[in-house]
Amino acid sequence: MNILLLSVGTRNLIVRYFKRVVGEEGRVVAADMQRIAPAIYEADSRYIVPRIADERYIDIVLDICRKEKIDGVLSLIDPELSLLAENEERFREIGVTIIGSSYELCERALNKMTMFRWLRENGYRCALSYDNLNDFYADLRDGKIAYPVVVKPIYGSASIDVLIVHDSEMLEMLFARHKDLMIQEYFDGFEIGADCYIDMISGELVSVFTKKKLLMRSGETDKSISFKDEKLFELIERFCDDSGWKGQIDIDLFEKDGEYYFSEVNPRFGGGYPHAYMCGCDHMALIVNNLRGERNEKHIGCYEDGMYMMKYGDVSVRRIDTED
């Protein structure tokens, strides 16, 4: 079983986890646009590729798949998910499975306003969101929303350019200077992350790990604690059934007055996934089972609550210019 991981960056642990599950019978291949992306050096083979916007990009990835006899490919960054899904047929023709959701769902997740509208239309509680000042000010006057609010790019990722705004002066300045911004309701409390795996054969949600995020850094969970709530598990299962996601997804939610509110969905491994893995939720094994044509059994909430994750730093030092 050979796996290709794209845009691996600093996700060294993800590469290691896949290597453990494929063992000596398989290989993990990693690609990134930078030679100094440390995670590529954890893989069995590594490739330096152009930016995903390069018109040659998909052809290059397909060539890697042929050369390395790849069975499944996935990306670890949001913008690439739609690109892979859009070219799913080309990969299928050479026997490669895209590990992820459809193009429509990847685009829905990437556009946070589209995701918000879908959630509202389908009856899910979610953070109030606006892509124009007129609608926001109307709800502000009616008392439906209040400062502070969160301002972020509609197509943003990794919490880049996310700001807490406390007044209209700052809000209007941001909208005057930048395009494609949105305003989102601010929740004062714990953010919740849910690492989920939807079986790619049955379409059934088979694994969920939930954690309260205690500290964030650069858009990723830095410290968190595991917890369980059957009400939340049931909500996530209904959401996944209604949506049609496949493979790994990462859901951000908030709890308010005993109810759960959806914030965002990332159809990939999130930065806090190592917490789930180290508590026994091995989604790499579930992926490999699916690639072998095996359906996974449902094991939702099969982990211990009250387990803390605490990230810490590490370094890799090597002479790259003589090795590549």
Rounded CA-CA distance 96/62 in Å is 9
pLDDT band per the 50, 70, 90 thresholds, residue 17: very high
Kindly state the average pLDDT of the residues 222-230: 95
Fold for domain 189-310?
Answer: D-amino Acid Aminotransferase; Chain A, domain 1 (3.30.470)
Q: Which tokens in the block code for residue 18? A: 């896949």
Per-residue pLDDT for 39 more than 70? yes
- Which architecture, in CATH terms, is 128-185? 2-Layer Sandwich (3.30)
Kindly state the average pLDDT of the residues 274-292: 97
- Lookup result for tokens 């508590």: 279
CA distances from 116 to 38, 111, 120, 128 (A): 35, 9, 6, 8
- Quote helix, strand, coil % in the chain, to nearest 5: 35, 25, 35
- Which architecture, in CATH terms, is 2-99? 3-Layer(aba) Sandwich (3.40)
Q: Which pLDDT does position 16 carry in this prediction? A: 98
pLDDT band per the 50, 70, 90 thresholds, residue 323: low
Per-residue pLDDT for 219 more than 70? no
Q: Which tokens in the block code for residue 271? A: 């930065």
What's the mean pLDDT when you consider all of the chain? 94
Say how many CA atoms lie within 13 Å of 9 toward its Cβ: 11
What percentage of the chain has pLDDT greater than the value 90?
Answer: 86
Q: What is the rounded radius of gyration, in angstroms, for the C-alpha atoms of the chain?
A: 20
Q: Which pLDDT does position 160 carry in this prediction? A: 62
- Give tens-digit pLDDT for 76-117: 999 899 999 999 999 999 999 999 999 999 999 999 999 999
- One-letter amino acid at 130 equals Y
- Lookup result for tokens 């152009």: 50
- Give the helix/strand (H/E) hosting 227: strand 220-227
| Maximum pairwise Cα distance, the chain | 65
Task: For the beta carbon of residue 99, count every other beta carbon within 10 angstroms.
Answer: 23
**Beta carbons of 211 and 227 less than 8 angstroms apart:** yes
pTM of the predicted model as reported, rounded to 2 decimal places: 0.92
Q: Which pLDDT does position 181 carry in this prediction? A: 95
Q: For the chain, what are the domain ranges? A: 2-99, 128-185, 189-310
Task: For the beta carbon of residue 92, count every other beta carbon within 10 angstroms.
Answer: 11
Q: Which pLDDT does position 142 carry in this prediction? A: 97
Q: Which pLDDT does position 159 carry in this prediction? A: 54
Kindly state the average pLDDT of the residues 268-281: 96
Per-residue pLDDT for 153 more than 70? yes
Strand partners, 204: none
